[in-house]
């Protein structure tokens, strides 16, 4: 992976698949990659900051306006430290925000401020995923250089077995490592 320790900003959004962030952190840490977690307000309903902080060994950032540890704007300093921004799970909400230039939380601000590659791992209901607007947003983001991994066909929380399941953790990690090279 080159010289020095790489840093992945892991954005966790409001999906039942947020639990997969734990696996992702563990596998990235095994690769000696520093993981800084950004947790959206909605994700906090599914997984706690304490869990992610314990696994990543870094303070989880949820609020852009909290007391900074450095006297740089927090979203800018994080954006500059990133070698990759990975959003897993990526909901229709975050995909829509990014596709339409909405910067209203720490995660979207970091993404728009970084020069690092951005990798999105969508997870949502099949009908949401196949919705024309979501598909247009994904196409728009791909056209501007955002990378996607998944979703895949699998068991969805709503009871369906269809497209919308977050990609396998190993596939997400392999794509992240490829983008870090």
Average of pLDDT values for 125-137? Answer: 97
Structural domain includes residue 45: yes
Q: What is the pLDDT of residues 20-56, one digit of tens each?
A: 999 999 999 999 999 999 999 999 999 999 999 999 9
Catalytic residues: 158
Indicate the number of domains in the chain.
1
2 domain residue, yes or no: no
The yes-or-no verdict on residue 17 having pLDDT over 80 is yes
Domain enclosing residue 125, as ranges: 7-180
- Per the domain annotation, does 91 fall within a domain? yes
Per the domain annotation, does 51 fall within a domain? yes
Alpha helix ranges (H) inside 82-180:
92-99, 106-113, 126-130, 132-143, 169-180
Whole-number pLDDT of residue 80: 87
Note the pLDDT of residue 127.
Answer: 96
- What does the radius of gyration of the chain's CA atoms come to, in whole angstroms? 15
- Domain CATH code at residue 82: 3.40.50.1950
Is 62 domain-assigned?
yes
């Amino acid at each position: 992976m080159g010289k020095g320790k790489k840093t992945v900003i892991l954005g966790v959004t409001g999906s039942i698949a947020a639990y997969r962030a734990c696996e992702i952190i563990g596998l990235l840490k095994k690769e000696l990659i520093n993981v800084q977690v950004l947790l959206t307000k909605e994700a906090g309903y599914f997984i706690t900051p304490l869990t992610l902080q314990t696994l990543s060994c870094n303070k989880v950032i949820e609020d852009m306006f909290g007391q900074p540890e450095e006297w740089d704007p927090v979203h800018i300093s994080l954006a500059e430290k990133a070698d990759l921004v990975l959003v897993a799970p990526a909901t229709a909400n975050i995909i829509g925000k990014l596709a339409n230039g909405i910067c209203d939380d720490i995660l979207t601000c970091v993404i728009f401020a970084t020069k690092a590659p951005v990798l999105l791992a969508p997870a949502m209901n099949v009908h949401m995923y196949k919705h024309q607007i979501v598909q247009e947003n994904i196409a728009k983001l791909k056209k501007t250089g955002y990378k996607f991994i998944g979703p895949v066909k699998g068991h969805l929380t709503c009871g369906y077995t269809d497209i919308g399941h977050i990609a396998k953790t190993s596939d997400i990690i392999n794509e992240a490592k490829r983008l870090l090279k």
